[in-house]
């Protein structure tokens, strides 16, 4: 009885002092740990260099690009800075298509197993915090870092662009760029969720890193080949294809490709950053007839992107839910 | 009732068909230092994890300070300080940062946590210059002390130490154990420590329990344990001779004629004679008369080591039943 009363007393005194939620203490420690680590410094240098390179190339060619635009209403200078290339370097959002997984994987591949290997997991779990808080803090802290990194880079780009060109940014552009950042963060979040899941499944950090990189390589390199092969195999016997069948086939390939997160990301970023993109699939002449060749409004672009975004979020949640399920009943002893 | 800080009832843990802990009943009272002894893999750590609510028992209950550890682990973790067997720290942080982090997780406000952390570090005898060192540079003994500091910063009522003396040098062990003893007496802490180093545990524990293959074979204080166990052999004498004895020993049968002597074993220079009564003078007189050059006579006392050995080697439960 005395024990219960004592425990209640302690609870009460804790509440009195308005102490911080343990979750945010965990997040703070995780962020501090990341920022001080060499790993993050290297990633930071990598991301900043690519961003700088891509933007510098775009800046050099911006004059030509702007000259081509007839209607000043549809200039979208800042979106052009993000997407213009001369062919030597891909634009930043394409870079992020493979830098994003790298970011996510390297921030998460040793989240749980390194703690277990070092014997810190048991110690942390013996403190009065919920088990899922630890998992969530790993995820949230890395996402916060990535989000902040991308946001500050984009803001730097906008500020630099204003200084150099003297053109004010439009609200629509700003919203599109912010949506782009959210999308990138979600994309990195998917890979982060996957690598945290693998860090729970595998006891060795190197195994989980290799597996995550394997999954990434599969999706970026082999998945397209496999899908194309399977689809051609299925249709090779049927001889000549009518136009409708070809359309149907194309649609099918695209839908299969969209199971890969990188494809979802590529679709979504292109739509967001290039307002002139009207559709992500093939469009028939009938559909094109009567369409006014003008950029889409932000609302329409978002409508097109929406399935891609929810797909990415769903995949992330799936990874996270599965890691939660595994971690909650896991034996934590080393 | 309120004196019982730890109460385990029928605690069982099964991994598949393997039973790690079997029907464990144990109570530990307030202010007591209890030693859980057993070989590796006996189920000590599993028992401790169940007490902390870090592992779910297959059957039975564990209550710590009156709180059910399985159903309400958070309340238990607030009052129990636990030091795992291979204690590890975040190597990229200094000792003070590690300690402050744990302090904050236990609800100590940020404004006070640094002061508290420094106070406990002094308490466990970590020198001032070690405070700002990265824990990667810490020696095993220092890590152990830091682990104890971390246990104390949350101001616990119960302290559970899993193999606290593992990997420290002998003088360090002695110092560490006396530190635990002093802290326990000063603060009225209840301490549970698990170990397989017996004579170390012997120095500090009020009560010990011997734990083999998931079962608590015997518990009690050391004096009562030895008297219960070694009733059959109330004395044992070791006689050392100058020259090795030729086997078979021709005087063995004559010695066994003594009414109280039951068993004799001989090996090179030594002879161990055990029996129900202390007849050391008679044995010595007999041997001197036969012209043996005796180098030394030693009477054996039973310590924890022997108690343990008895179980460790045989792991036969019949011994208790007798």
Q: Tell me how far apart the alpha carbons of residues B253 and B185 are, in angstroms, rounded to a whole number.
A: 54
Q: Tell me how far apart the alpha carbons of residues B220 and B320 are, in angstroms, rounded to a whole number.
A: 13
Q: Is residue A153 part of a domain?
A: yes
Considering only CB atoms, B88 lies closest to which of A17, A120, A128, namely A120
Q: Tell me how far apart the alpha carbons of residues B68 and B91 are, in angstroms, rounded to a whole number.
A: 34
Considering only CB atoms, A333 lies closest to which of B49, B89, B104, namely B49
Among chain A residues, CA nearest to B77: A128
Strand partners, B63: B7, B68
Query: DSSP string spanning B222-246?
Result: HHHHHHHH-SS--EEEEEEESSPPP
CA–CA distances in Å: residue B221 to residues B52, B304, B306? 25, 10, 14
Count Cβ–Cβ pairs < 8 Å, chain A vs chain B.
108
pLDDT surpasses 80 at B228: no
CB contact under 8 A, B54 and A129: no
Class of residue B194 by CB neighbours under 10 A (exposed 0-12, middle 13-18, buried 19+): buried
> Cβ of A216: how many Cβ atoms within 10 Å?
21
Q: Which residue has the higher pLDDT, A1 or A314?
A: A314
- Residue bearing tokens 């030394």: B296
Q: How far is CA A298 from the centre of its chain?
A: 20
Q: How confident is the model at residue B322 (pLDDT cuts 50, 70, 90)?
A: very low
Least Cα separation, residue B83 to chain A (angstroms) = 7
Question: Hey, where are the domains in chain B?
Answer: 4-228, 231-301
DSSP A220: I
CA angle at B197 for the pair B196 and B201, rounded to the nearest 5°:
105
Q: Tell me how far apart the alpha carbons of residues B83 and B102 are, in angstroms, rounded to a whole number.
A: 12
| Interchain contact B49–A (C-beta under 8 A) | yes
pLDDT of residue A279: 67
CB contact under 8 A, A1 and B91: no
**CB of B135 closer than 8 Å to CB of B98:** yes
Strand order in the sheet with B270-275: B261-267, B270-275, B235-241, B294-299
The proportion of chain B whose per-residue pLDDT surpasses 90, expressed as a percent, equals: 26
CA–CA distances in Å: residue B211 to residues A149, B41, B218? 54, 10, 8
Query: How many CA atoms within 13 Å lie on the side-chain side of A67?
Result: 4
Domain region containing A30: 18-212+238-280+294-328
CB contact under 8 A, B54 and A122: yes
**CB of A203 closer than 8 Å to CB of A326:** no
Q: Is residue A230 part of a domain?
A: no
First vs last C-alpha separation in chain B:
31
Among chain B residues, CA nearest to A10: B78
Per-residue pLDDT tens digits for A120-156: 999 999 999 988 899 999 999 999 999 999 999 999 9
Per-residue pLDDT tens digits for A196-251: 999 999 999 999 999 999 999 998 888 888 888 888 787 776 666 677 777 787 88
pLDDT of residue A280: 66
Considering only CB atoms, A33 lies closest to which of B45, B79, B92, namely B92
pLDDT of residue A46: 92
**CB of B123 closer than 8 Å to CB of B183:** yes
Query: DSSP string spanning B104-130?
Result: HHTT--HHHHHHHHHHHHHHTT--GGG
pLDDT surpasses 80 at B248: no
| Interchain contact B65–A (C-beta under 8 A) | yes
Q: Is residue A9 part of a domain?
A: no
Q: How confident is the model at residue A21 (pLDDT cuts 50, 70, 90)?
A: confident
Q: Which helix (H) or strand (E) holds A316?
A: helix A298-328
- The alpha-helical segments, DSSP class H, found in A109-204 are 113-118, 120-125, 131-165, 171-201
Q: What are B253's two structure tokens? A: 């049968």
**CB of A198 closer than 8 Å to CB of A212:** yes
Q: Tell me how far apart the alpha carbons of residues B210 and B312 are, in angstroms, rounded to a whole number.
A: 9
Considering only CB atoms, A7 lies closest to which of B56, B67, B147, namely B67
pLDDT surpasses 70 at B310: no
- The ipTM estimated for the assembled molecules is 0.80
**CB of B284 closer than 8 Å to CB of B294:** yes
pLDDT surpasses 70 at B290: yes
The sign of the torsion formed by the CA atoms of B192, B196, B198, B200 equals negative
**CB of A62 closer than 8 Å to CB of A77:** yes
CB contact under 8 A, A3 and B65: yes
CA angle at B3 for the pair B11 and A15, rounded to the nearest 5°:
90
Least Cα separation, residue B322 to chain A (angstroms) = 38
Candidate ranges A104-108, A279-283, B195-199; pick with highest mean pLDDT: A104-108
CB contact under 8 A, A128 and B45: no
Q: Tell me how far apart the alpha carbons of residues B2 and A2 are, in angstroms, rounded to a whole number.
A: 6
Rounded average pLDDT over A159-174: 86
Helices B140-153 and B110-123: crossing angle, nearest 10°?
130
3-class state of residue A90 by DSSP: coil
The sign of the torsion formed by the CA atoms of A70, A76, A81, A86 equals negative
Least Cα separation, residue A116 to chain B (angstroms) = 9
Q: Report whether CATH 3.40.50.1220 matches the domain B231-301.
A: no
Domain B4-228 fold: Rossmann fold (3.40.50)
Per-residue pLDDT tens digits for B133-164: 999 888 888 898 899 999 999 999 999 999 88
CB contact under 8 A, B54 and A123: no
Question: Residue-wise over A178-192: b if at least 16 C-beta within 10 A, else e?
Answer: ebbbebbbbbbbbbb
The domain tally of chain A equals: 1
Q: Tell me how far apart the alpha carbons of residues B289 and B292 are, in angstroms, rounded to a whole number.
A: 8
Q: Is residue A217 part of a domain?
A: no
Q: What are phi and psi of B208, to 5 degrees?
A: -130, 155
Q: Tell me how far apart the alpha carbons of residues A154 and A180 are, in angstroms, rounded to a whole number.
A: 10
Among chain A residues, CA nearest to B64: A3
């Amino acid at each position: 009885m005395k024990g219960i009363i004592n425990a209640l007393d302690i609870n009460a005194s804790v509440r009195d002092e308005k102490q911080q939620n343990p979750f945010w203490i965990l997040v703070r420690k995780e962020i501090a740990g990341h920022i001080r680590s060499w790993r993050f410094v290297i990633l930071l240098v990598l991301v900043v260099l690519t961003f700088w390179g891509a933007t510098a190339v775009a800046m050099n060619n911006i004059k030509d690009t702007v000259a081509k635009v007839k209607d000043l209403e549809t200039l979208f200078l800042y979106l052009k800075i993000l997407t213009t290339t001369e062919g030597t370097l891909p634009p930043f959002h394409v870079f992020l298509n493979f830098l994003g997984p790298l970011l996510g994987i390297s921030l998460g591949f040793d989240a749980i197993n390194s703690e277990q290997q070092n014997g810190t997991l048991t110690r942390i779990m013996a403190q009065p915090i919920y088990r899922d808080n630890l998992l969530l803090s790993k995820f949230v802290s890395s996402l916060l870092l990535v989000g902040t990194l991308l946001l500050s880079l984009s803001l730097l780009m906008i500020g630099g662009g204003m200084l150099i060109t003297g053109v004010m940014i439009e609200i629509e552009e700003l919203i599109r760029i912010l949506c782009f950042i959210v999308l990138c963060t979600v994309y990195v979040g998917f890979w982060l969720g996957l690598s945290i899941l693998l860090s729970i499944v595998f006891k060795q950090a190197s195994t989980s890193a290799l597996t995550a990189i394997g999954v990434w390589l599969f999706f970026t390199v082999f998945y397209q080949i496999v899908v194309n092969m399977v689809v051609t195999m299925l249709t090779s016997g049927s001889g000549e294809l009518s136009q409708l069948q070809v359309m149907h086939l194309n649609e099918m390939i695209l839908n299969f490709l969209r199971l890969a997160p990188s494809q979802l990301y590529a679709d979504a970023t292109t739509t967001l950053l290039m307002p002139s993109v009207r559709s992500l699939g093939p469009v028939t002449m009938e559909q094109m007839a009567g369409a006014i060749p003008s950029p889409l409004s932000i609302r329409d672009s978002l409508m097109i992107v929406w399935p891609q975004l929810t797909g990415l979020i769903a995949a992330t949640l799936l990874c996270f839910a599965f890691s939660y399920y595994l971690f909650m009943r896991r034996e934590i002893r080393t | 009732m309120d004196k019982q800080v730890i109460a385990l009832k029928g605690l069982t843990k099964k991994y598949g068909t393997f039973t790690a802990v079997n029907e464990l009943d144990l109570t530990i009272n307030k202010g007591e230092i209890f030693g859980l002894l057993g070989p590796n893999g006996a189920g000590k750590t599993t028992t401790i994890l169940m007490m902390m609510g870090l592992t779910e028992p297959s059957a039975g209950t564990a209550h710590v300070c009156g709180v059910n550890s399985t159903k309400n682990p958070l309340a238990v973790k607030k009052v129990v300080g636990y030091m795992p067997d291979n204690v590890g720290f975040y190597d990229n942080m200094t000792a003070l940062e590690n300690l402050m982090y744990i302090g904050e997780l236990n609800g100590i406000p940020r404004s006070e946590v640094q002061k508290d952390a420094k106070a406990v570090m002094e308490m466990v005898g970590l020198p001032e210059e070690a405070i700002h060192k990265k824990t990667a540079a810490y020696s095993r003994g220092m890590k152990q002390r830091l682990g104890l500091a971390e246990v104390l910063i949350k101001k616990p009522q119960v302290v559970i130490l899993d193999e606290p003396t593992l990997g420290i040098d002998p003088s360090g062990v002695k110092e560490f154990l006396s530190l635990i003893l002093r802290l326990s007496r000063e603060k009225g802490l209840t301490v549970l420590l698990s170990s397989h180093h017996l004579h170390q545990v012997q120095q500090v524990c009020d009560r010990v329990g011997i734990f083999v293959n998931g079962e608590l074979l015997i518990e009690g204080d050391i004096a009562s344990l030895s008297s219960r166990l070694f009733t059959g052999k109330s004395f044992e004498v070791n006689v050392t001779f100058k020259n090795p004895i030729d086997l078979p020993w021709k005087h063995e049968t004559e010695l066994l004629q003594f009414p109280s002597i039951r068993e004799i074993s001989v090996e090179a220079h030594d002879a161990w004679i055990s029996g129900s009564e202390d007849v050391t003078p008679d044995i010595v007189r007999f041997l001197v008369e036969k012209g043996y050059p005796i180098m030394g006579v030693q009477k054996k006392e039973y310590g924890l080591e022997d108690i343990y050995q008895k179980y460790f080697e045989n792991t036969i439960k019949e011994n208790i039943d007798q």
